[in-house]
Structure 1
Amino acid sequence: MSRRRRILAATTALLAAIPVAVVAMSANAAIPPPAAGWNLVWGDDFNGAANTLPSSSNWIVDLGHAYPGGPGNWGTGEIQNYTNSTNNIKLDGSGNLRITALRDGAGNWTSSRIETQRSNFKPAPGGKLAIEGRIQMPNVTGQAALGYWPAFWALGSPYRGNYWNWPSIGEFDIMENVNGINSVWGVLHCGVNPGGPCNETTGIASNRACPGTSCQGGFHTYRFEWDDGAKQFRWYVDGQLFHTVNQGQVGAGTWDQMTNHAGYFVLLNLAIGGAFPNALAGQTPTAATVPGHSLVVDYVAVYQSGTGTTPPTSTTTTTTTPGNPGGGGSAYSELQAESAQERSGGTVGTATDTGGGQAVGEIGNGGYLKFSGVNFGSSTARQFYARVASGAAGGVSGLVEVRLDSRTAAPAGTFAVGNTGGWQSWKTVPANISGITGTHDVYVTFTSGQPAPYVSVNWVKFGT
C-alpha cells in the first residue's frame, strides 16, 4: 500500500477456494490466547463505546492525501481524503472497528487510515514475530466494488519522518484486496524502486481465495510471521499458508536493510482508487461504485516466540531521589530529563508550563538520555509516559524510544512525535511497552529520518 504502481497481471488468475472446516466465531471474538511457545506482546480488540475513535494510546489517525512532505496521494494514486470523523472511522460498540468509505454529492471520497503508535515490532534474535488480524473486507462485489482497496499491513519504522526511503525499509502487506474480488493478496516490498530483488513497484506477491466464506462475506484471520531463525516471511489466511519469501530470494544485503532497524508499525486503511485497483479494472472508482461499505476489524494482535538474549538485570537497591539526579529511584516517579546521568543532544532550559522547571530542549536524531539504576520493583511496567513538546517544521518528526541497559538494545517501547504547537506546547504522550520488572539503566533514544531537532523532553515515567 505504500509508494508503488501495481501491475499484478500474473495474479489475476484467482485460485479456487479450498474446502475446509470453518469454525463459527462471533463478530466480536476476543484476542485469541497465544499458542504454545508464543506470547502476546501487543493487541487491540476494539472494545469501547459506539461512535468513538480507536484508542489514541494505540493508534495514530492519518489525515489528508499524504504525509507532510511525503508523496502525494500516499504514493499509490488513491483518491480519497483520510479523516478522523466518526462518519469514516469508529468503534461500533460491539467490539469492532469500522472504516467506511463515503462519497459526497460532488463526487469526493473520504475514508480513514490508522497506524500503531508503536513502531518496534520485530522478533528477538533467532525468534519469531506474528502480526494477526481478524477482518471482514467491505461486503461489496462486482461493479459496485470497483476502486475499493482495503489493506492490513506493516511498514519499517525508518519511514516515519523520512517518506522517501521506501521500499528499502521494508513493507509487509498482510492482507490486500481490490474491487471486491474474493481473494487475499500477500506482498513483500523491499530493495530499490523500480526493479530490484522485489520487482518493484509490484513486489513479491501471491494471492488466493478466502477459505469457506468469501473474503467479503465474513470474517477471516490474516496472519504474517517473521521467522528470524529461518530467515523467512510467511503469510496465512485462516491458518492456511499461501505465501513464503526466504532471505535467499532477495539477498542478504536487502534482507538486512529491512530487518536490522528498530522494527515495524502496523496499519489499517480503506483506500479508494489507485494503481492496484486500476491495474485490474481500468480507471476506478466509477459511477457504479457504491459508497458506504466498511472494512470491519475485530482485533489486531502481535505475538512473539523465542526470547533471544535477555540483558542482565541488576538487583542493587538504591535510595536516591525520585528525579534520578544521582541514579536510582522509582520508575513510577517522574524522571527529570535535565537530571539524566548521561545526555547527548539538546540543551537544558526552562519548561514554561511546569512552574519554572527545566527540560532538555530541541533534541534531534541520535540524541539520548540515560537514567541509571531505575527500579521497576516487582510490579510489571507496561506503560511509558513522556512529557514532550515540539516546534518542528512541517514534515519533521521522529521517534522517542525506551531501551534497557544498552543504548543499542532493541526498543521496549516507542512513540512518534511531530509538531505539538510549539517548543513550549507540552503534552504527555503514552505508549505501550513490553513488560519490565527489576532494576535497569533506562535509555531514552531519539531517532529521525532527518537531522532537524524535533522534540523537547520535560520528564519520563512508567506505569503498570
Structure 2
Amino acid sequence: MSATSGIPRRRRALIAALSTLGLAAVLATAATQSADASAPTPPSGWSQVFLDDFNGSAGTGVNTSNWQYDTGTSYPGGAANWGTGEVETMTNSTSNVALDGSGNLKITPLRDSSGNWTSGRIETNRTDFQPPAGGKLRVEARIQMPNVTGNAALGYWPAFWMLGAPYRGNYQNWPSVGELDIMENVNGINKTWATMHCGTASGGPCNETTGLGNSTACPNTTCQSSFHTYTMEWDRSVSPEAIRFYVDGVNYQTVTSSQVDATTWANATNHGFFVILNVAMGGGFPAAFGGGPTSATESGHPMLVDYVQVLSASGSGGTTPPSGNRDAYSAIQAESYDSQSGISTETTSDTGGGSDVGYIANGDWALYKGVNFGSTAATQFYARVASGAASGVSGLVQVRLDSATSTPVGSFSIANTGGWQTWQTVPANISSVTGTHDVYLTFSSGQSADFVNVNWFDFGH
C-alpha cells in the first residue's frame, strides 16, 4: 500500500538458516493445509517472535494485545484517504473486521444504501520486527483474497504489508522510512504484487511511487479461489543484504542493498517495522488496472487470513555475531533509530536529502543498537546538527553507551545555527570506546523548548 504524505514543518509532535529449496518446501506444505490450518511449526534454526492464529468465536474482534484498529480515512494529521486515494472509511466494527469462528480473520468491505464504502485495517502494536545482526526475519501469512473477479471486483485492493517504525506517530516521512508490500492485489486479478518502497516521494532511487516491485500469478489455483502463503524473508546474513518475496515458496521478487545508495537503504531498513492487514476500495493502484469501485462492484467479499507469524533466525550458526550491524565510522542516519522518546522524523534539505530527526527537547533520546567500534579506540564524535531555537535556548547532545542513564562518554553544546535546516557538523571528544555497543543519543537542556535537529552522526579515532 503506497503511502504518500506532505511534509509540513511542525515543532514537537503533538500527535506525540534455510536454503531457498528448504523454504520452498516449508511454504508449499503450508499452502496445502486446510482453510482453518494452524501456523506451521518453525523450521530448525528459526524462532517464533509473533503469532496470531485468529482462533476465537465467530463475530468477535481481533486480539487488541496484538493489533490496533486504524479507523476513518487517514492517520491523525496524515494524508487524506490514507495517502492513496482510496474511498472507503475504515472502522472497528465487527461487520468489517471479525473472526469467522473457523480460525480465520475476515476483513469485509461493505457498501451502504447511499453508495458509501466501509472496510477494515489493522496493524500490529509491535513496531520492532527486523532481523538480528547477521540474521534473518521471516514475515508470512496464509490468505485467501476476496473471492470476486471481473467487473464485480473493480476497486478491491487487499494487502498484507509492513511500514517502518518511524512512520508511526509522524505520518509525513514516507517513503524514506521503508515499506515492504508482501502481498497486494487489485480488481480480482489472479496476481500477487510484492514491492519495496524507499527513497524520495517522487522518482528517486526507488522509482516512486511505483517502488521496486514485481508480480506473479498464484501457483496451481487462483489467488481468489484458494488460500496461499505469502512470505517476506529479510536476510542480513548475505552481502549484499537481501529482501525476498515468495508466494507458496516461489521466490518472485528480490531487492538487495546494492540496488540503491547506502543512505537510502539505511534510512529504509535500520529500524523495526510493523505489520498491516487491510482491504482498501479504490485508489491509485486499482485505477491503473481498470478503476473502481463502480456500480457493478459487489459488496461483501472478505479477505480471509488464516494466520500471521513472524520468525527470526540468528546468524553464525545460531548465535548473534560479535560485530554489530552498524559501523561506528560510517554515517549513521539519525532517523534509523531502533527506538526513541520524544522525537520525530522529517524530510531534510541537507546535502544528500533523506530525513532528519527533530522536535528534540530536554529529556528526549534515541537508541542505535549494535554499533561496532572495532579494536582501535574511537576518541571523536561528530554529529550533523541544525537549530532554529530562540535566543537564549540551547542544550547538550550527549553520547551514552548501553543505557540511556549511563554516564555520557562525550557531549557538545548547541544553540541556534541560523535555522532548523541550517546544518553544521560539530565535533566532540569522547572517552576511548572499543567493541560493540548500543549507542544512545540523549538530549539535555535547561529549557523545555525544542533546541536541535540531527541528520547523522559517526565516530573517529
TM over 0.5: yes
Aligned to 1:216: 224
Which residue of 290, 313, 316 maps to 1:281? 290
For the pair 1:366 / 2:364, whether they are aligned, the reply is yes
Instruction: Determine which of 51, 67, 71 is the counterpart of 1:63.
Output: 71
Q: Structure 2 CA distance, aligned partners of 1:308 and 1:250? A: 26
CA deviation vs aligned residue, 1:233-264 (integer Å, no higher than 9, x gap): 10000011000011111121111111112x00
CA distance in 1, matches of 2:85, 2:191: 22
Q: Secondary structure at the residue paired with 1:155?
A: strand
Cα separation, partners in 2 of 1:251 and 1:86, compared to 1, 3 Å: same
Tell me the equivalent position of 1:258. Answer: 268
Which residue is 2:3 aligned to?
Answer: 3
Cα deviation, residue 406, structure 1: 3.7
Deviates more, 1:20-29 or 1:38-47: 20-29
Aligned AA (2:287): N
Q: Per-residue displacement from partner, 1:362-417 (whole Å, max 9, x unpaired)? A: x9983599xxxxxxxxxxxxxxxxxxxxxxxxxxxxxxxxxx96449xxxxxxxxx
Q: In structure 2, do the counterparts of structure 1 residues 365 and 285 end up closer, same or farther at CA, with 3 Å as the change threshold?
A: farther
Q: What amino acid maps onto 2:66 in structure 1?
A: N
Q: For the structure 1 residues 104 and 444, does the alpha-carbon distance in structure 2 shift closer, same or farther, using more than 3 Å as the test?
A: farther
Matches for 1:290-329 after TM superposition, within 5 Å: 290-306=298-314, 307-309=319-321
Shift of 1:143: 0.3
Match of 2:278 in 1: 269
> What is the deviation of 1:310?
8.0
CA–CA distance in 2 between the matches of 1:155 and 1:446?
26
**Structure 2 CA distance for aligned equivalents of residues 24 and 182 of structure 1:** 18
Given residue 38 of structure 1, which amino acid in structure 2 is its aligned partner? Answer: W
**1:205 CA displacement:** 0.9
Aligned residues of 2:195 and 2:212 also touching (Cα < 8 A)? yes
TM-score by length of 1: 0.64
Please list the CA deviations of residues 328-360 of structure 1 after superposition, one character each: whole Å capped at 9, or x if unmatched.
Answer: xxxxxxxxxxxxxxxx98xxxxxxxxxxxxxxx
**Contact residue 4 and residue 202 of structure 1 kept, 8 A:** no
Q: Deviations over 1:63-122 (max 9, x none)?
A: 000001000000000000000000000011111000000000000000000000000000
CA-CA distance at 1:53 after TM superposition = 0.7
Distance 2:362 2:254 in 1: 38
SS at match of 2:288: helix
| Deviation digits for residues 278-325 of structure 1 (CA, Å, limit 9, x no counterpart) | 01113x1111000000010000000011152589xxxxxxxxxxxxxx
**Paired letter, 2:279:** L
Rounded Cα–Cα distance in structure 2 between residues aligned with 1:140 and 1:452: 54
1:445-464, aligned counterparts within 5 Å? none
SS at match of 2:58: coil
CA RMSD of aligned residues (A): 3.1
Q: Provide, for residues 142-186 of structure 1, a one-character-per-residue CA deviation record: whole Å limited to 9, x for no partner.
A: 000000000000000000111110000000000000000000000
In the alignment, what sits opposite 2:91? 83
Offset from partner CA, 1:179-199 (integer Å, 9 cap, x none): 000000000100001011110
Q: 1:298 to 1:23 in 2, by over 3 A?
A: closer
Letter in 2 for 1:272: M
Equivalent residues, number: 320
Call closer, same or farther: CA 1:310–1:34 in 2, change over 3 Å. farther
Matched position secondary structure for 1:281? coil
CA contact (8 A) 1:159 1:166 kept: yes
| Other-structure match for 1:246 | 256
List aligned pairs for 1:162-241, cutoff 5 A: 162-230=170-238, 231-241=241-251
Residue of structure 2 equivalent to 1:440? none
* Residue identity in the other structure for 2:282: G
Q: How does 1:30-49 map to 2 (within 5 A)?
A: 30-49=38-57
CA contact (8 A) 2:30 2:40 kept: no
Contact 1:365 1:452 in 2 (8 A): no
Partner amino acid for 1:55? N
Cα distance, 1:48 vs. partner? 1.1
Q: 2:110 aligns with which of 83, 94, 102?
A: 102
* Residues in 2 aligned to 1:172 and 1:178: alpha-carbon distance in whole angstroms: 17
Are the equivalent residues in 1 in contact too, given 2:31–2:227 (CA < 8 A)? no
Match of 2:59 in 1: 51
Corresponding residue of 1:422: none
- Corresponding residue SS for 2:194: strand
Other structure's SS at 1:280 match: coil
What is the rounded CA distance, in whole Å, between the counterparts of 1:26 and 1:125 in structure 2?
36
